[in-house]
Structure 1
Amino acid sequence: MSLRLALPLATLLLSPLTQAQSVYGERLEGFDYDFPVKTFSFDSQRQALEMAYLDVAPSGKPNGRTLVLLHGKNFCAGTWTQSIQVLSAAGYRIVAPDQIGFCKSSKPAHYQYSFQQLAANTCALLDHLGIARATLIGHSTGGMLATRYALLYPEATEQLVLVNPIGLEDWKALGVPYRSIDQWYARELKTSADGIRDYERSTYYAGQWSPDYDRWVDMLAGLNNGPGKERVAWNSALIYDMIYSQPVVYEFARLRMPTLLLIGQRDTTAIGKDAAPAELKAQLGRYPELGKAAARRIPQATLVEFEDLGHAPQMQAPERFHQALLQGLSTRKAPSAPPKP
């Protein structure tokens, strides 16, 4: 009997060799979210763009508040599914955009990416929807964007929630080697399902894995290996350069709205960490220290730590995470006065 025939049926069914790899379009065509996707058309940098977004009405008794969910670098609006279900049931209206360059939104051939530009795009979307004031919830790279949005539009930001945000340290200033956009592009072209899974297991989920996570691996791998993979990789490279070169950590003291920090303590995320020398690598992405330091810098910060969770606590332990989030949303502090000139 051959080795292949001797393997258990479950092993054969789960083996990458027996599965056809999913392939999705440049705008994630072929991959469905759990909520209807809408499109906001606008002009930016002399070109017509489309931002995909979810707009989910409260399924419970409406409380009059809107939450804007901002995804991370390797996430999409669709990966907020569990949070949208819980928060909608609690009475919140939910708006979750795919930022330009990501997921189901436009992938421009040329675009000057900045957190200011993405914040302005998000503000334009909210204006289009008639939303004058909202709570921003940003995860990972979305935390950097939410911070920039809150700094640009403080009167429109009711509350700020940062879920394992990156950008709690300045990797460039710490000595992480520079990668050119061409180098990032070459790196992104090598994206594979196995590489995504290995990275997410160690960083996002603290060494654990659930079959539920495979859907999101399939989403990213299919997007990065589809017919638009060169355009996807190029936009990804531009976005990595934005993340590396545009720190927000120095401006935390300017945040005047109540801010909730939800931090998985076993997170080790740091952009460019893989290229850093060993002695520097060991000093990067220390979230138990970074979360506390951010809480000290932000005037009205409340810090909630999840001792055993990684970079994506909302997906790794959704019940615990959402309990803490709902409690934090319901116990807002009064806004502080701006500093005197």
Structure 2
Amino acid sequence: MKQHTFLILFFAVFQTAFSQPDRPVLDIMLTNYEYPFEMHYLDMNNQNQQLKMAYMDVAAKNPNGKTVVLLHGKNFNGAYWKTTIEALAKEGYRVIVPDQIGFGKSSKPVGYQFTFQQLAQNTKAVLEELDIDKIYLLGHSMGGMLATRFALMYPERVEKLVLENPIGLEDWKVVAPYTSINSNYQKELKADYETTKKYQLGSYYDNQWKTDYDEWVYLLTGWAKHPDYPIVAMNNAQTSDMIFTQPVVYEFQNIKVPTLLIIGTRDRTAIGKDNVKDPEVAAKMGQYQLLGKETQKRIADSQLVELDNVGHLPHIEAFDRFITPLKEFLK
């Protein structure tokens, strides 16, 4: 009996040790987490609040005079672009990587109205601070929606647009019920390492986990035990609402710049799908092997690169297959 009890305790401790990394609790500005490159901060008065917008500004190895701006997804921040930054800088590009307000090392405001237009203006403010006019713009996931909005608002600034598994290729609110900010907030308060990893394992990586992926779970949940975490949870709930209620799918035909779509066709990301009661309707959501083709038809001057057996994160899951068409398009 004692041996049986010991084994139960041993495996419980073993499972806990490998499901929750023994790493420091992060503060909500990630001051105790080091990004891959030096951070810079833009002070801005935004919606009557004094905010700081963090960004990396990485110089080219042998400058070609071009600048690439990388926009992160909702469940990430600028840190996950490390290998992409290194590859582009090696090719001669200056690379600017902002953390949007509410994310990463940027301010987490209270009572902020999150819109893609506001985030686009904030991104433009960083470029103006750096005296950068023309850019190549790459957005992943939520960053793809933001990149689309930016290109629609400031087409004179965007020379080329790249959308990597962007969300927003369909209008989920047509078929999925609305979830209030308060409900999303309560859900965010319960987020932890295990539930977040389980979601990413199934949704992003087809149940094939690599230890490298742990970093992105840590950056999402490492601040969950910090006393200021409720502010982060509310920002997360507000940006979820922004994504659900502010579609860009009806405006793809208005994009006037050369565009590349890089689509991992295994991706099944669809906001609100879990709340759809009709299984047949839910099964039709997030079909990226179809959505990529449909979107490419809507954007006049566009190309589509499909990556078979790759999910929501091509630049993490299949970097070599991602970077090759990206570099070719930017030439």
TM-score (norm: length of structure 1): 0.92
- Note if 1:16 corresponds to 2:24: no
Q: Which residue of 2 aligns with 1:181?
A: 181
SS of residue in 2 equivalent to 1:223 = coil
Q: Which residue of 2 aligns with 1:336?
A: none
Counterpart AA for 2:19: P
For 1:200 and 1:56, the matched residues in 2 are separated by 29
Deviation at 1:227, TM superposition (A): 2.4
Q: Which residue of 1 aligns with 2:27?
A: 25
SS of residue in 1 equivalent to 2:156 = helix
SS of residue in 2 equivalent to 1:137 = strand
Q: Which residue of 2 aligns with 1:198?
A: 198
Deviations 1:68-127 (A, max 9, x none): 000000010011011011111111100000000111111111111110000000001100
Deviations 1:160-216 (A, max 9, x none): 00000000000012x201011111111111111111111111222232211111111
Deviation at 1:271, TM superposition (A): 1.1
For 1:266 and 1:58, the matched residues in 2 are separated by 33
SS of residue in 2 equivalent to 1:224 = coil
For 2:151 and 2:167, the matched residues in 1 are separated by 16
Q: Which residue of 1 aligns with 2:114?
A: 113
Counterpart AA for 2:310: L
Contact 1:258 1:301 (8 Å CA) reproduced: yes
SS of residue in 2 equivalent to 1:155 = coil
- Note if 1:297 corresponds to 2:306: no
Identity of aligned residues (%): 48
Q: Structure 1 residues 227 and 154 mapped into 2: Cα distance closer, same or farther (>3 Å)?
A: same
For 2:54 and 2:101, the matched residues in 1 are separated by 8
Q: Which residue of 1 aligns with 2:38?
A: 36
- Note if 1:56 corresponds to 2:58: yes
Q: Structure 1 residues 89 and 177 mapped into 2: Cα distance closer, same or farther (>3 Å)?
A: same
For 1:305 and 1:223, the matched residues in 2 are separated by 35
Deviation at 1:145, TM superposition (A): 0.1
Counterpart AA for 2:224: N
For 1:16 and 1:316, the matched residues in 2 are separated by 21
SS of residue in 2 equivalent to 1:260 = strand
Contact 2:109 2:235 (8 Å CA) reproduced: yes
Q: Which residue of 2 aligns with 1:256?
A: 256
Q: Which residue of 1 aligns with 2:98?
A: 97
SS of residue in 2 equivalent to 1:182 = helix
Q: Which runs of 5+ in 2 are unaligned?
A: none
TM-score (norm: length of structure 2): 0.94
Write out aligned runs for 1:293-332 (5 A): 293-330=294-331
Deviations 1:191-244 (A, max 9, x none): 111111111112222322111111111111113332221000011111111100
SS of residue in 2 equivalent to 1:169 = coil
Deviation at 1:319, TM superposition (A): 1.4
Q: Which residue of 2 aligns with 1:3?
A: 7
Instruction: Report the RMSD for the aligned CA atoms in angstroms.
Output: 1.8
Q: Structure 1 residues 12 and 292 mapped into 2: Cα distance closer, same or farther (>3 Å)?
A: closer
For 2:148 and 2:46, the matched residues in 1 are separated by 21
Contact 2:172 2:270 (8 Å CA) reproduced: yes
Bigger shift: residues 199-208 or 102-111: 199-208
For 1:94 and 1:63, the matched residues in 2 are separated by 12
Contact 2:176 2:276 (8 Å CA) reproduced: yes
Q: Which residue of 2 aligns with 1:333?
A: none
Deviations 1:43-82 (A, max 9, x none): 11111110010000012x2111100000000010011011
For 2:26 and 2:107, the matched residues in 1 are separated by 14
Counterpart AA for 1:96: V
- Note if 1:270 corresponds to 2:274: no
Q: Structure 1 residues 300 and 225 mapped into 2: Cα distance closer, same or farther (>3 Å)?
A: farther
Q: Which residue of 2 aligns with 1:139?
A: 140
SS of residue in 1 equivalent to 2:236 = helix
For 1:58 and 1:4, the matched residues in 2 are separated by 54
Q: Structure 1 residue runs of 4+, over 3 Å off?
A: 4-7, 11-14, 19-22
Bigger shift: residues 318-327 or 96-105: 318-327
Contact 2:76 2:219 (8 Å CA) reproduced: no
Write out aligned runs for 1:278-289 (5 A): 278-289=279-290
Deviation at 1:274, TM superposition (A): 1.8
Contact 1:206 1:267 (8 Å CA) reproduced: no
